[in-house]
Structure 1
Amino acid sequence: MLLDSDAESDVAYELCQVVGRAVLPYRSSGTFGTAFFFQGGDDPVGESLLTAADLVGGSGGELGLRSSVTEPVGVAPAVISEAEIVPGWARFPGDGVAVLPTAGLHRYAGDGGWRWRVQPVPAGIAAGPEVVARLGADAGSAFVLAHGVREDLSRPLEVAIERVVRDGDAVLITAELPPGYVGAPVFIVQAEPTGEVSPYCLGLVLPGVGGHPVATFDRIRAVLPATSGDV
């Protein structure tokens, strides 16, 4: 669904309010990306951190923390080394995704005297096969929530408003995104048979040149909850 610019701005604002605290900056082996919390069901055991498989598995991986995603203020560290989190990432290169069950993140926080204050992307807006099937060759509005990379290497939360198309089985962001956007969640809106417009999390951004494939949630769900992967 292609929105006009005013409607796109409204959707971008609402997404930041509702799921802005799902998103974290990620860095590994000098490569910048984004990861996000996903709540697979009502059970907290179903919560995972998701990103692109190509980002993880290198040396020195770390998650950045904004003050808004932890409490009490001033207790959590600025970054978490992924080496301190057990279990670690499970990579699924065939699907393009990496999954980190968040039990280790919550244990790490508890041991440090703080807790997470995040807004996971809920399962209810994860795009199913029927949502993906409604995409076509005509471009629709897409919203990417990510931590970009400034010249001073700061990682602010940003929203890129882009275009998404489906070409056969492939779903694509049609423009090349700035550094830091790989692994970030992609959102769309679609008209329902009732006439209402609903938001969906389509999936996550994969690496690309001139544009980006999207690992859609039908692929992501196939590897949830995380099993051993290849790491």
Structure 2
Amino acid sequence: MLLDSDAESDVAYELCQVVGRAILPYRSSGDFGTAFFFQDGHDPVGESLLTAADMVGGSGGELGLRTSVTEPAGVAPAVISEAEIVPGWARFAGDGVAVLPTAGLHRYAGDGGWRWRVQPVPAGIAAGPEVIARLAADASSAFVLAHGVREDGSRPLEVAIERVVRDGDAVLITTELPPGYVGAPVFIVQAEPTGEVSPYCLGLVLPGVGAHPVATFDRIRAVLPATPGDI
């Protein structure tokens, strides 16, 4: 669904309000990306952190913490080294996805005397096959929530309003995104048979040149059951 510019701005604002605290900056081996919390159902065990597989597996991975995603104020560190989190990332290179069960993140916070205050992307808006099938070669509005990289090294939360298309089995963002956007969630809106317009999280941004493939949620859901649990 292609929206006009005013409607796109409204959707971008609402997404920041609803899932803005799901999004965190990530860095590994000099590469900058984004990760986000996803809640698969109501069970806390179903909560995971997601990013692109190409972002993990190197050395020195760090997850950045914004002050708005932890409480009480001033207690949590500015970054968490991935080496301190058990279980660590499960990497599914064939699907382009990396999954980190968040049990270790919650233990780490508890040991440090603080708590997470996040807004995971809920399972109810994760795009199913029927949503993906409605995408076409005609462009639809897409909204990427990510932590970009400024010249001074800061990583603010940003929203890029882009275009997404389906080309055969591939789903693509049609332009090249700035540094820091790989791994970020991609949102769209679609009209329902009832006439209502609903938001969906289409998936996450994969690396690309000139355009970016999207690892759609049918691929993400396929690997979630294989992710190591709380050990």
Contact 1:22 1:36 in 2 (8 A): yes
Give the SS at the match of 1:32: strand
Cα 1:130–1:57 change in 2 (3 A) is same
- Distance in 2, matches of 1:41 and 1:82, equals 25
CA RMSD of aligned residues (A): 1.8
Distance 1:203 1:212 in 2: 12
Cα deviations by residue, 1:12-42 (Å, 9 ceiling, x for unpaired): 0000000000000000000000000000010
Gaps of 5+ in 1: none
Q: Deviations over 1:71-101 (max 9, x none)?
A: 0000000000000000000000000000000
Whether the 8 Å CA contact 2:145–2:158 is kept in 1: the answer is yes
Shift of 1:225: 3.3
Provide TM-score, normalisation by structure 2: 0.98
Q: Tell me, yes or no, if the aligned pair for 1:137 and 1:165 is still in contact at 8 Å.
A: yes
Is the 2:2–2:139 contact (alpha carbons within 8 Å) kept by the matching residues of 1?
Answer: yes
Confirm or deny: 8 A CA contact 1:91 1:229 kept in the other structure: no
CA distance in 1, matches of 2:109, 2:228: 23
Distance in 1, Cα, partners of 2:23 & 2:5: 24
State the 1:229 CA deviation: 12
1:96 maps to 96
For these two proteins, the number of residue pairs brought into alignment is 231
Name the TM-score, length of structure 1 as normaliser: 0.98
1:114, 1:19 → 2: CA distance? 21
Change (3 A) 1:64 1:226: farther
Three-state SS of the structure 1 residue aligned to 2:20 is: helix
Does the 8 A contact of 1:90 with 1:229 survive in 2?
Answer: no
Cα distance in 2 for residues equivalent to 1:45 and 1:226: 14
CA contact (8 A) 1:100 1:226 kept: no
1:226 Cα shift?
4.3
Question: Deviation per CA, 1:162-207, whole angstroms, max 9, x where unpaired?
Answer: 0000000000000000000000000000000000000000000000
Contact 2:87 2:230 (C-alpha < 8 Å) held by counterparts: no
Partner SS, residue 49 of structure 2: strand
Supply the distance in 2 between the matched residues of 1:25 and 1:217 (Cα, whole angstroms).
21
Instruction: Give distance in 1, aligned partners of 2:230 and 2:208.
Output: 22
Q: Identity of paired residues, percent? A: 93
Map of 1:195 onto structure 2: 195
Instruction: Flag structure 2 segments of 5+ consecutive residues without an equivalent.
Output: none
1:83 equivalent in alignment to 2:83: yes
Q: Is 2:104–2:230's contact at 8 Å kept on the other side of the alignment?
A: no
Structure 2 matches for 1:198-217, cutoff 5 A? Answer: 198-217=198-217
Residue 230 of structure 1 deviates from its aligned partner by 17
- Shift of residue 228 of structure 1? 5.3
Deviation at 1:227, TM superposition (A): 2.6
Distance 1:89 1:104, change over 3 A: same
